[in-house]
Amino acid sequence: MASADYLLAAAVSAILIAGIGLLKRRKANSGLPFPPGPKPRFLVGNLFDIPTEMPWITYTEWGKQYGDIMHVQVFGQHILILNSVKVATELLEKRSILYSDRSTIPMIPLMTWDFGFAFMPHTDEWREVDLFISAWSGQLIGLLQRRRLFHQYFRRDGIAAYHPVYLKKTRELLRGLLSTPEKFATHTKTLAAAISLDTMYGYDLKSMDDRFVYLPEEAAKRLTENMLPGARIVNTFPFLRYLPSWFPGCGFHKFAQDTSDLVYEMRNAPFDFVKQNMRNGTGSPSVLRELLERNDARGGSGEREEVMKDVAGMAYPAAVDTITTTLNVFILAMALNPEIVKKAQNELDAVVGLGFLPGFEHRSALPYCEAVFREVFRWRPILPFAIPHAVSDDDIYEGYFIPKGTMVLPNICAMVRDESVYPNPDRFDPERFFTADGQLNTDDQILAFGFGRRACVGRYAADATVWATIVSVLATFDIAKAKDEFGKEIEIEPVFAGGMVSHPKPFKCSITPRNDVIRQLIANTTVTDV
C-alpha cells in the first residue's frame, strides 16, 4: 500500500477530489454533530488514523475513549464503528430498514464477486419481494430469490435433512485425526469442504488438491483480503476504477481480472458437473440437483438457472473458511485448557456413554458442551467485523447525525471483549454461560453471524457442523500441548492473522485417542454408522 505508485495515485486523486468539490463535511440541517472519533485532518480526513491490519483491535481501544459508537471519514466517505451489542441491535436490527444496505466497495464488482447476495445492495426490489413474493411464485429474479433459495434449504428447520451428511463427514474427520493428528488443520478444512460440496453439488471430495476446492478457496481469499477500507486504493478512490491499468496505482485492474476469471470458473465448473450428471442419469442427490429438477418441471427457465448457479456458488466460499477457522480455534482453546476437555468428556460419558459417538439427539442434554461451543465463538471471533452494512438514508441517533451512504462496521471484537458482560475476556471460560443455579443462560447469540436482515443465511448449517464436530472430537480425543523430544511441553502463543477472516497462526498440539476402546471405535466406524 505504501508503494510509490500508490502514493502518487493517492496524491493525484486527492487533488482531483478537492478540485471538483467532492469532498464535503456534511451535517444535518440542524447542525447536529457526527458521532465522536479521532479528529479528521484537512482534505484526507482520517486516512492516516485507520489501520490496514487488524483494525478491530485499534477500534476496540478507541472505544475506551470515544464510546460505543464512533465516526471516521476518509476523503468524504463516512465510516461508523459500533462497539457494543446494544448499539448494533438498536441500529442494525431495530432500524434495519435504514441499515441493511451494503457499501459500494469497488473491488467487489471488479472481481465479479457482486453476484453474491451477501454483497448486493438493499434495494426496493429486496424489500418488496421480501414482503410479497415467494422464491417460486413470480418472475422477479433478483437478490431476494437468491436469498430465499438459500433460506429454503438452510433455514433452522431445514438443516435436519443434512444431519446425516454432517455426521458422516465428522466420522471421516475422526479417522483422519487418528491416523495423522498433526495434520488437524488439513482435516478440519477437508471436513468443511466435503460437507459443502456434498450438500450443494452431490460431489464426493477425495482430495484437497481437487480443482473444486482450489477455485472457491483462492477466489474467497482474494475477496477477503481486498474488500476492507484501505485494502486497495480503489476502495478509497472509487473513480479510479474508470482509469486504465497503466495509470499510477491502478495495477488492481489486472489483479481484479485474474480474480474474475477464477470466480467465473468457480461458479460454472461444479454447476456444469451437476447438469452433466443429470443428463447422464448419474450422480448423487444435492441441493442444486433438486433446484434444477424443480426448474425443469416448471419449463426450464434459464434465468432461474443463473440464480441457482449464484446461490450454489456462494455456499462453499461462505462456509468453508469460516467453519475451518472456527474448528481450529476450538482445537487451540482445548490445547490451552485440557481441564475443560476433561469436564466436557465427563458430561459426554454420562449422557452418551463411553465408547459411543454423540448425535444431534443428545444436544439438549449436553449443557457444558453447549457452553464450550458458545465460548469458542466468543473467545476469538473469526469474523471481527462481520460484513459491513451501509445506511440507505440520513439518520439521527442519540443526537448524532449519520449521513446516507455511511459504511457501518459492527466491531464484534469489541463486543465479545466487553468486560461488563464477559469478565476477564481473554480467558476461555465456558462457565460464563451458566446462571448461578447451574443452568445455561440466554446468551446464545453468535455475534459473528451478523445482525438484522443481513445476518448470515448459512448460520444454522455452520452451527450444526461446528457443534457436531466439537462434541465428536471431545468424545474421542484428548487435546493438550505437544511435547518436544525431552518431554517438555511446547508453549502455544495464540496469535491471529488479519484479514476479513481472522485465522489462528499455525501451532502444534497433541491429539490422542482417549483409550484403546475409542481407538477401535474410530477405526471400525464406517460412513454408514450414522
- Cell digits of residue 481: 500441548
Give bridge partners of residue 511 from the DSSP assignment: 479
- Cell digits of residue 201: 453439488
DSSP percent split of the chain into helix, strand, coil, nearest 5: 55, 10, 35
What is the C-alpha separation between 341 and 339, in angstroms, rounded? 5
Task: Name which of 189, 104, 95 is nearest 469 in CA terms.
Answer: 189
User: Which residues are annotated as part of the binding site?
Assistant: 456
- Residues with Cβ within 8 Å of 24's Cβ and at least 6 positions away in sequence, in order, are 76
- Cell digits of residue 160: 435436519
Q: Are 289 and 249 in contact (CB under 8 A)?
A: no
Task: Name which of 327, 383, 336 is nearest 498 in CA terms.
Answer: 383
DSSP 89: I
∠ CA 417-422-426, rounded to 5°: 55
Largest distance between two CA atoms of the chain = 75
Task: Name which of 441, 264, 431 is nearest 343 in CA terms.
Answer: 431
- Residues with Cβ within 8 Å of 343's Cβ and at least 6 positions away in sequence, in order, are 368
- Cell digits of residue 285: 442427490
- Cell digits of residue 112: 465479479
At 428, give phi and psi (nearest 5°).
-85, 110
Q: Are 75 and 44 in contact (CB under 8 A)?
A: yes
- Residues with Cβ within 8 Å of 464's Cβ and at least 6 positions away in sequence, in order, are 159, 162, 163, 166, 360
- Cell digits of residue 418: 466487553
What is the three-state SS of 395-436?
EEECCEEECCCCEEEECHHHHHCCCCCCCCCCCCCHHHHECC
In Å, how far from its chain's centre is CA 337?
A: 25
Q: Which residue has the cell 451489542?
A: 85
- Residues with Cβ within 8 Å of 474's Cβ and at least 6 positions away in sequence, in order, are 334, 341, 344, 345, 348, 369, 372
What is the C-alpha separation between 254 and 442, in angstroms, rounded? 49
User: Which residues are annotated as part of the binding site for heme?
Assistant: 456
